[in-house]
Structure 1
Amino acid sequence: MASSPLIATSLPQNQLTTASATATASATATASATATASFRNPPPEKLAVFIDNSHSVDEVLQIHAAILRHNLLIHPRYPVLNLKLHRAYASHGKIRHSLALFHQTIDPDLFLFTAAINTASINGLKDQAFLLYVQLLSSQINPNEFTFSSILKSCSTKSGKLIHTHVLKFGLGLDPYVATGLVDIYAKGGDVVSAQKVFDRMPERSLVSSTAMITCYAKQGNVEAARALFDRMCERDIVSWNVMIDGYSQHGFPSDALMLFQKLLADGKPKPDEITVVAALSACSQIGALETGRWIHVFVNSSRIRLNVKVCTALIDMYSKCGSLEEAVLVFNDTPRKDIVAWNAMITGYAMHGYSQDALRLFDEMQGITGLQPTDITFIGTLQACAHAGLVNEGIQIFESMGQEYGIKPKIEHYGCLVSLLGRAGQLKRAYEIIKNMNMEADSVLWSSVLGSCKLHGEFMLGKEIAEYLIGQNISNSGIYVLLSNIYALVGDYEGVAKVRNLMKEKGIVKEPGISTIEIDNKVHEFRAGDREHLKSKEIYTMLRKMSERIKSHGYVPNTNTVLHDLEETEKERSLQVHSERLAIAYGLISTKPGSPLKIFKNLRVCSDCHTVTKLISKITGRKIVMRDRNRFHHFSDGSCSCDDFW
């Protein structure tokens, strides 16, 4: 056993013995000092009852003193007293006393070994747990199912595999508790194959083991398999519901997450908890379901769910991403004991709405008032704020301060923000130099940012050079190909557009479809370009034609350069008219009261033509239109946009 990887990171035995002796001496001295007449001459059976009924550590110390006084701790007829004392100390949080008691025991039996291993494991003392396990094996004592269940709590995937071999050696592979522990370890490590093998061999599957397997599927993004197992479960607790709802939310199925949340509420039990509402609020954030998010907020206030910092942070994020920055600020101001995550959420909220100065003010306020140190996420938010407002000098200063003042090494996301800032400001050569001189390889997102800036500022030759280089590197990101198509189209090179399209087809690369959503009466309606599947499609297209006529009377000229196809001008105009965001706006106009605001959410960047059209619609209808695209929020009002046409 000396070469076993299980003990490679364990504490030295002499240190453990010294600690044990110190803790035992302390416990014995305290116990002797606090002993009372109540335990002077009790029978051992009575002492066992006293231990079971103890309500404080002082009572346990008094009982311990009585046991020591009568030399019952090492009495061969009463080993249960040692075990009960060990558990009592552990239950009252006196872990050092508990483990010290074990190490002073001569020839501990299997039950005491298992209790000590379990105490170390559940209190995060993994090294000590493994030392105890090795000591058990060295004592020629065979572990049982409870021993394995205890030591598995301290295992990583690697050490768990080794323990798994021991489990099989002792013929305990089918024990439900042991198998559940193994499934949990493999699930946490993302080893789906091993988890599935153990799970499939289980003769009886408990609630815990099924939930562990669902977690494994969900972590890997296989929500179909997770849901299939979830639906087969005869019993579900709130943990299993939370895993499934969060799995949907984290892997791009927010609507499914909200439907499952509604099903949970309809069933009436189990009751949602903080984790449930955080997952549901995250789903609302992704699709802009503001009214649903508001309803969840009301539900939290009316239930027994604590409005703690985690729930408040989820609310801040939801309100920010759903277009209601005002409500996000209200929640932030009322959040108790704000941690760095809450501050980051609010800074990011200000940044995505274009309130860059407020984001930078909050950044300074966070450090000055609370003394909290910014994290890498904080800097992503502040750099985004600078990028959205073109604050080049401020952005560069903040980027440089990361390492110089805070010791934070920039990640690819920080470089992305800096490159976006410089690119939008027209400093493309500087942005290009930063990418070439980075100490890491640029990803497709970073290159897309530069290409987008090339398109924005008409740097077609540089954009074409970069895009063709990337395509030669077998980049599979569809955005790169689309941007190159845009660049070819803007210079009228439709042969180049066709070449890119054929290349995408050959490589099996599919362009991400543009999808816009709008929430009406707590229901999210989804639209794609040219969509005619909506129940009110006829009315929507009638409104589109009506608005097209009105905006032309206000000087609108279609920007057909954004159309990638080699079509006649009239056909290009028709293509622009049915973009997904315009369909969503048209549906909002026919479905809400005149003058009421509209909130549109698009998964891609809004095109320049739709941006112009939305400004005009806001002026003609007298409505405020809030649109979130991939980059930021646009607040359209009376013919202008909060981004000042800089996005």
Structure 2
Amino acid sequence: VIRGFSNSRNPEKTIRAYIQMLKTGFSPDHMTYPFLLKSLSRLLNRKLGGCLHSSVVKTGFVWDLFICNSLLHMYGTFRDRASARKLFDEMPFKNLVSWNSILDGYAKCGDVVSARQVFDDMNERDVVSWSSMVDGYVKSGEYNEALEIFDQMMSVSSSKANEVTMVSVLCACAHLGALNRGKKVHRYILDEHLPLTVILQTSLIDMYAKCGSIGDAWGVFCRASVKESDVLMWNAMIGGLASHGFIRESLQLFHKMQESEIDPDEITFLCLLAACSHGGLVKEAWHLFASLKESRAEPTSEHYACMVDVLSRAGLVKDAYDFISEMPIKPSGSMLGALLNGCINHGNLELAETVGKKLIELQPHNDGRYVGLANVYAINKRFGAARSMREAMEKKGVKKIAGHSIIELDGTPHRFIAHDKTHFDSEKIYALLHLLGTWMDLNVNNDDSDDYHCVCS
């Protein structure tokens, strides 16, 4: 009974059955605890988890390997690194599952340094070990490192990548914009005949869309079965179309989604509102926002921010300001930032100053807020006030963070910041920029030639 409840949609029934078992005079054995610990992991009940660990100790099962591994998994799910590490170090016997559990626990906590130390100390690794390490790097935003560990897996390990590995790798490719790398991963999936599950197809759609290949994303989506699809897959495709400027197409796909009897969620409406923002579709945005309120989904701060962005981009900055004043939540920096940009772009500098001051009050350590208000003053030719913003930044120790760009060349992402000279090809890059600048000075575009080609070696 306890095992059945631990795998059900209502794992709390496992605890009730356990309590009933104790009341009837039966004692738990080594088979009972793993299912109880599994249920507590799903329920994220830390207090009961600690109590059950104490019960394990009292009943003499403290060093049962199966139970210890279940405890490690539970503490990892709770993000309790200290308890997991203490238990791991005290275990007299460990197997591969033990090592994978502590590794996965560190990875889930975002502690990839400790996870990598465990990974490097392992005498034996399987696909779970490699996948946990790849996923840990992805969740920590270290996407290049994720691809590097995946390359090691493919070259030195006998383990074959599975769905979990592929989802993490595709996520890394998506964030890096590494289209060629993503296509190779897609080819591997097909060549190895990995089952194209809904989550894997969704990851492929998301990767192609974020890497700029919306046609490939649409191809994956069209080949998927509507019956097997879920809201996440539709969201990925709707969001992909919207981000590539296919605004009407994203709205049409939303209507098709409704016809397929798939209920939209908060992310669906977020994608659609973002599409309306970029397409200048104010009327449609209001309709969607009203539909969101009527649906099971609840408007979040992101939805309100999107509506502010819709109105601000359309030049309806006074309406956007009124919307912010009347909404039931406090305005975020992103909302006021969108309104500030709208005020500047549409020439309402008086309101821009008001919003700019509110932004600095809200986020006094954000460099962009001072720069934004300084730009408002500069446009208004109030150069003294603009200078005072720079001085205020210095007094508060706020420094402007340099922006960066990433491009992919032959499957390898390259990162650049302004005036960057750390790249190994910096000399050639600046030489080419100088050459292009010279051509512009010579006004070469006014001659009769159709094309100019630069060849670098």
Give yes or no for the alignment of 1:143 onto 2:28. yes
The aligned residue for residue 421 of structure 2 is 532
- Deviation string 1:580-628 (CA, Å, 9 cap, x unpaired) is xxxxxxxxxxxxxxxxxxxxxxxxxxxxxxxxxxxxxxx97699xxxxx
Describe the SS at the equivalent of 1:235. Answer: coil
The aligned residue for residue 67 of structure 2 is 178
- TM-score, scaled to structure 1: 0.64
> Pick from 300, 319, 327: which aligns with 1:438?
327
The aligned residue for residue 245 of structure 2 is 354
| Contact kept? 1:386, 1:421, Cα under 8 Å | yes
How far residue 495 of structure 1 moved from its aligned partner, in angstroms, is 5.2
> Which amino acid letter does the alignment assign opposite residue 130 of structure 1?
I
> Which amino acid letter does the alignment assign opposite residue 35 of structure 2?
S
> Which amino acid letter does the alignment assign opposite residue 324 of structure 2?
I
Alignment of 1:290-309 (within 5 A): 290-309=179-198
Alignment of 1:552-591 (within 5 A): none
Structure 1 portions without partners, runs of 5+: 1-115, 557-618, 624-647
Give yes or no for the alignment of 1:118 onto 2:8. no
How far residue 265 of structure 1 moved from its aligned partner, in angstroms, is 0.8
Cα separation, 1, equivalents of 2:258 and 2:355: 40
| Contact kept? 1:308, 1:335, Cα under 8 Å | no
| Contact kept? 1:211, 1:240, Cα under 8 Å | yes
Q: CA, structure 1 residues 207+340, in 2 after alignment: closer, same or farther (shift >3 Å)?
A: same
Structure 2 portions without partners, runs of 5+: none
Cα separation, 1, equivalents of 2:206 and 2:32: 44
Cα separation, 1, equivalents of 2:401 and 2:141: 14
> Pick from 272, 287, 290: which aligns with 1:397?
287
Give yes or no for the alignment of 1:130 onto 2:15. yes
How far residue 232 of structure 1 moved from its aligned partner, in angstroms, is 1.6
Cα separation, 2, equivalents of 1:516 and 1:272: 31
Cα separation, 2, equivalents of 1:172 and 1:122: 23
| Contact kept? 2:242, 2:272, Cα under 8 Å | yes
> Pick from 141, 155, 160: which aligns with 1:252?
141
Cα separation, 2, equivalents of 1:489 and 1:186: 54
Q: CA, structure 1 residues 414+248, in 2 after alignment: closer, same or farther (shift >3 Å)?
A: same
Cα separation, 1, equivalents of 2:96 and 2:9: 24
| Contact kept? 1:121, 1:154, Cα under 8 Å | yes
How far residue 285 of structure 1 moved from its aligned partner, in angstroms, is 0.7
Q: Cα RMSD (Å) of the superposition?
A: 2.7
The aligned residue for residue 223 of structure 1 is 112
How far residue 552 of structure 1 moved from its aligned partner, in angstroms, is 5.5
Cα separation, 2, equivalents of 1:541 and 1:268: 41
> Pick from 248, 251, 271: which aligns with 1:381?
271
Cα separation, 2, equivalents of 1:313 and 1:621: 41
Q: CA, structure 1 residues 161+432, in 2 after alignment: closer, same or farther (shift >3 Å)?
A: same
Q: CA, structure 1 residues 401+165, in 2 after alignment: closer, same or farther (shift >3 Å)?
A: same
Alignment of 1:86-105 (within 5 A): none
How far residue 469 of structure 1 moved from its aligned partner, in angstroms, is 2.6
Alignment of 1:490-639 (within 5 A): 490-491=379-380, 496=385, 499-501=388-390, 503-504=392-393, 509-551=398-440
Describe the SS at the equivalent of 2:330. Answer: coil
| Contact kept? 2:239, 2:272, Cα under 8 Å | yes
Give yes or no for the alignment of 1:416 onto 2:301. no
> Which amino acid letter does the alignment assign opposite residue 95 of structure 2?
S
Cα separation, 1, equivalents of 2:146 and 2:383: 42
> Which amino acid letter does the alignment assign opposite residue 289 of structure 1?
A
- Deviation string 1:220-259 (CA, Å, 9 cap, x unpaired) is 3222222222222222222222222122112211111111
How far residue 124 of structure 1 moved from its aligned partner, in angstroms, is 5.3
> Pick from 238, 255, 260: which aligns with 1:364?
255
Q: CA, structure 1 residues 326+214, in 2 after alignment: closer, same or farther (shift >3 Å)?
A: same
> Pick from 216, 231, 239: which aligns with 1:340?
231
> Which amino acid letter does the alignment assign opposite residue 372 of structure 1?
I
- Deviation string 1:473-498 (CA, Å, 9 cap, x unpaired) is 45444443442343344445565555
Cα separation, 2, equivalents of 1:210 and 1:493: 63
- Deviation string 1:372-394 (CA, Å, 9 cap, x unpaired) is 22111111111111111111111
Describe the SS at the equivalent of 1:181. Answer: helix
Q: CA, structure 1 residues 496+276, in 2 after alignment: closer, same or farther (shift >3 Å)?
A: farther
How far residue 168 of structure 1 moved from its aligned partner, in angstroms, is 2.8
| Contact kept? 2:333, 2:362, Cα under 8 Å | no
How far residue 140 of structure 1 moved from its aligned partner, in angstroms, is 4.7
Q: CA, structure 1 residues 163+354, in 2 after alignment: closer, same or farther (shift >3 Å)?
A: same
Cα separation, 2, equivalents of 1:446 and 1:552: 42
How far residue 362 of structure 1 moved from its aligned partner, in angstroms, is 1.1
| Contact kept? 1:444, 1:477, Cα under 8 Å | no
Cα separation, 1, equivalents of 2:401 and 2:99: 35
| Contact kept? 1:124, 1:154, Cα under 8 Å | no
| Contact kept? 1:121, 1:150, Cα under 8 Å | yes
How far residue 358 of structure 1 moved from its aligned partner, in angstroms, is 1.1
- Identity level (%): 36
Q: CA, structure 1 residues 362+127, in 2 after alignment: closer, same or farther (shift >3 Å)?
A: closer
The aligned residue for residue 64 of structure 1 is none
